[in-house]
Amino acid sequence: MTAAKHLVTIKGVKDGLVFILDDTGEFSAVLAELKHKLEKTHQQILTGPIIHVNVKLGSRSVTDEEKDEVRSIISTQGNLLVQSVESAEPAVPKTEPDKADVKIVRGIVRSGQTLSQEGNILFLGDVNPGGSIMSTGSIYIMGSLRGMAHAGHDGDELAIVAASHLRPTQLRIAGVISRPPDEWGTNEAYEAYMEYAYVKDGVMKIDKIHHLHKIGLNVYS
């Protein structure tokens, strides 16, 4: 024969007592068991100095009147002083950021400064030498990148770094690090093209922005 489920659990803690009321049973049944325990089976806690009581209702949603019922039952018994009657906050499910979302930021990242964002970022401005821009997603810079950029810094190797003028001191995508070759700063043929960096087979590569559509074949397949 299965033992009946306890609807009220009383636990001693450092600062007093915690009453844990079952959040699945009928509320009237929970109140009835609470009264029974205080009047019949747990009279020993009703003597002596004042004892602070915190009541936990679990995930049960209750009205202020129902909370007052609980307080009334406990407070009228001996030396118990109710401090709180609380329901647990409902859990908020975590959601992953939408990779299609792009946060727009304007300004200048100067030497010694770091701009860090979650998700994809469209930065309207320049990143100067000694400055850094970081994102968990892709980084698109409508301006000059002359400092350091780190895209996908939580490990997303599908992120990219694109800039109108791509002349970084260092590029990082996820855990892949690449320093640009010397000719990046001297080859005038590149000046007319916006470029982007991406990772393929663990190696960082650079291409012109109008080839960005190739990522669907080169990176994601």
Per-residue pLDDT tens over the stretch 98-120: 555 889 999 999 999 999 999 99
- How far is it between the farthest Cα atoms of the chain? 91
pLDDT band at residue 39 using 50, 70 and 90 as cut-offs: confident
Question: Do 115 and 191 share a domain, yes or no?
Answer: yes
Q: Which of 198, 167, 194, 193 is nearest to 180 (CA)?
A: 167
Share of the chain above pLDDT 70, in %: 81
Name the residue range of residue 173's domain. 102-218
| pLDDT average, residue stretch 14-35 | 89
Question: Do 74 and 129 share a domain, yes or no?
Answer: no
- Stated as kind and residue range, the H or E segment containing 1 is none
pLDDT band at residue 213 using 50, 70 and 90 as cut-offs: low
Total tally of structural domains belonging to the chain: 2
| pLDDT average, residue stretch 51-62 | 88
Alpha helix positions (H), the chain: 27-36, 64-75, 215-218
d(CA 28, CA 105): 56
Per-residue pLDDT tens over the stretch 64-88: 899 999 999 888 777 888 888 888 7
Question: Do 74 and 122 share a domain, yes or no?
Answer: no
Mean per-residue pLDDT over the chain, rounded: 82
Q: What is the CATH number of the domain that holds 144?
A: 2.160.20.70
- Stated as kind and residue range, the H or E segment containing 127 is strand 120-127
Record the pTM.
Answer: 0.51
| Residue 220, pLDDT above cutoff 50 | no
Q: What is the pLDDT of residue 140?
A: 94
Q: What is the pLDDT of residue 192?
A: 56
